[in-house]
Amino acid sequence: MKPPDSPFSALTLAGWLAGAALVGYALFDGGYLVTVLGFAAIYAIFVSGLNFFMGYTGQVSFGQNAFAAIGGYTSAVLTTAFGWGVFPAMASGIAAAALLALLIGFPTLRLRGHYLAMATLALGMIVQEIAVQWDSVTMGYTGIAAIPALGAFGYELPSDRAQLVALLLALALCLWVASRLKHSRLGQALAAIAGSEDAARALGIDVARYKLIAFVIAAIYAAFAGSLFAHFVGFVSPEVFGLHMVVLGFTMLYVGGIGTVAGPLVGALIISLLPETFRGFKEFQDLAYGAALILILIYAPKGLASLVRRLRMRSDKRRAA
């Protein structure tokens, strides 16, 4: 008879209930916590795309910020300068990012390891420099302000709370799509590539094609997140989509759990809330924040999302012994 693993199921359920309680409190109380959770939701979408390319496919990309910038600036320019609606502008930004990923990915993804990492890093730097220099469109470092809030058919969501609900619904959709893709034939092919590209080729998998598909999907997620950021904040500038976004995305991915569906959500939530949690430490805030990250990586090296599975495996080994 299989031993029940209810303690771990209860632990997972407790995590979801805690998250739901946090969102409920934010919607009831409003204030700064709504903004923090809104950013967490946007970054969770951004990191989900990064996870698709790095976690599911086993590749490295430092250029995810480039596609976020394309999505954000396309939405900003089309809505403020040309009077487009939010949804058409967002769709245009996502399409532009997907097209760029397709054009850039075809030659770039033939590279491996640190060569691929450097190529994608260069892509991010180039897009950011274009955002700085093309000031007739992007306004340079001044940025674009007065971007319409999330909404449709000329109607804008009236409050930050309503926008947070919209962001959470968008996040839920993105995580559902990521889960479906991971457990599809596409996900199985990507898992084989992550294990060994040579072995995947021996099995008849078109490695170059599947890597390109993963790269384009990651770009779509990033562009969607960048566009959501533009409409949620109402402002974009080159600094928003700089190297800081890449570092933050990597931190969220590894803290949450690379290769897991829930990892981006957990990582984005933890990394967004930790600075607020340690704000009372004042001058020791950065020290406490860094120590907390180190402890998480030591005791949960595969991320917090995989912690329950790790505990279950330990428990099974003890029972078997």
What tens digit of pLDDT does each residue of 174-231 get? 999 999 999 999 999 999 999 999 999 999 999 999 999 999 999 999 999 999 999 9
Q: 100 or 106, which is more confident? A: 100
Say how far apart CA 232 and CA 41 lie, in whole Å: 11
Q: Are 306 and 269 in contact (CB under 8 A)?
A: no
Residues 6+ apart with CB under 8 A from 149: 156, 157, 163, 231, 232, 234
Q: Is residue 108's pLDDT more than 50? A: yes
Average pLDDT over residues 283-299: 78
Q: Residue 263 is which amino acid?
A: G
Say how far apart CA 133 and CA 46 lie, in whole Å: 25
Q: Is 134 helix (H, G, I), strand (E, B) or coil?
A: coil
Residues 6+ apart with CB under 8 A from 146: 80, 234
Which helix (H) or strand (E) element contains residue 135? helix 135-138
Q: The domain 31-320: what is its CATH number? A: 1.10.3470
Say how far apart CA 73 and CA 207 lie, in whole Å: 32
Q: Are 77 and 144 in contact (CB under 8 A)?
A: yes
Confidence of residue 308 (pLDDT cuts 50, 70, 90): low
